[in-house]
Every structure is written in C-alpha cells, then in structure tokens.
Amino acid sequence: MVRIPRPRRAVVAAAASALAAGVLVSCGADSPGEGVTSAPHAGDAACKQLADRYPDRLGGQELTFTDRPGVAVWGENAIVLRCGVELPVPTLDPCATVEGVDWVFREDRSKDGGKVVVTYGRDPAVEAVVSDDVAAVDDVLVDLSALVEPVKTYTKCISLDDVQPPSPSG
C-alpha cells in the first residue's frame, strides 16, 4: 500500500493558530472517559508503551482516566488521547511539525470550539481531542509530541511546493 504524505505548515505558532480555529469530537460525557472508546488498534505494542509514559499533567489538566486500552483523559475530558486510530488518508487538511512530530488538523471534525489532531506518518496513529477550555494548546502539542515521538515513523508531511513540478525554464 502506498502512503501519500500531507501538505504541511511547520511551525508551532501555526499549529497553535490552527488549533485555536479548532476541532473537537465531543465525548458527550459528564465524567472523564465516559463515552470514549478505544481505537481499533489500541492493542498495538506502541500504544501500550505510550500508556506507561502518560504525563500526570497536560495543558494544566490532571490525568484523570486511563481505564481503556490506548485511551487517556486529562481533566473533565479537556484533553482526550486515543492511540491506535486509523492511519490518516491523503488530505489537504493543514499539517504542522511540532518537535519533529507531524500533526494533521482535522478541520472537518470541528465541534463545540475544540480541536482534533492526528499524528501523520507514525504507525500506530495517535489522535488528540483538545477542548477550548485548554489555553496553552501549543504547550499541549509540544508535550504530546514528546510522548509520541518514539512511535515508528514511516513518512512525513510535505507541502504542495514539494509535489508540484518545477516550472519550465525559459
């Protein structure tokens, strides 16, 4: 299977701006983790290794839920991480590189002012849902990048300039 990289916009500031514009999958929950399901590949060994490294605090929120494979929740669903989601398919959604980790911003999944980002080029893929209650979104991406950095990389985001044919010389 051929994997096609995504366009990228590679700066933490751009990442924070894109996240501020936002995407969120509502958990529809009154308590941390309620309504959050494990991803299809949550049993992957890399997801189990991530679980051993979840930070106690993320984006000013305390780790409050880890009772399902590949799932971590900080605060009252302020940040929800799911390891083992399906690998992203080719898209024109913005992609930013944060601390060496590529993140695709899932603009099509915007709800309630939050954000959804998915790692690109790493297998298994990791999804983070960040609510609009989290003020330091750029710090969250830096910390999440440190968490997922050990996950195997198979490709990187690219920009449209990287795939466009060179202009004919005159």
Q: Could you tell me where the DSSP H helices lie in the chain?
A: 12-21, 45-51, 137-148, 160-163
pLDDT digit string, tens, across residues 64-76: 999 999 999 999 9
State the chain's mean pLDDT as an integer.
81
* Contact assessment for residue 84 and residue 70, using Cβ atoms and an 8 Å cutoff: yes
Report if residue 166 sits inside a domain: no
Mean pLDDT for the stretch of residues 94-108: 92
Report if residue 146 sits inside a domain: yes
Report if residue 115 sits inside a domain: yes
Q: Report pLDDT for 49.
A: 96
- Boundaries of domain holding 69: 12-161
Q: Report pLDDT for 31.
A: 81
Rounded CA-CA distance 23/36 in Å is 16
Q: Total domain count for the chain? A: 1
More confident residue, 94 or 170: 94
Report if residue 144 sits inside a domain: yes
* Contact assessment for residue 151 and residue 46, using Cβ atoms and an 8 Å cutoff: yes
Report if residue 18 sits inside a domain: yes
Instruction: Check whether 100 has a pLDDT greater than 50.
Output: yes
Residue 139 structure tokens: 């710090």
More confident residue, 116 or 165: 116
pLDDT digit string, tens, across residues 133-167: 888 888 999 999 999 999 999 999 876 666 666 66
- Confidence band, pLDDT 50/70/90 cuts, at residue 80: very high
Q: Report pLDDT for 28.
A: 44
Partners of residue 82 on adjacent β-strands: 71, 127
What CA–CA distances, in Å, run from 5 to 73, 94, 133, 160?
29, 12, 31, 10
Report if residue 2 sits inside a domain: no
Q: Report pLDDT for 161.
A: 63
Q: Report pLDDT for 160.
A: 66
Q: Report pLDDT for 91.
A: 80
Report if residue 169 sits inside a domain: no
Residue 131 structure tokens: 């609510």
Q: Report pLDDT for 158.
A: 79
Report if residue 116 sits inside a domain: yes
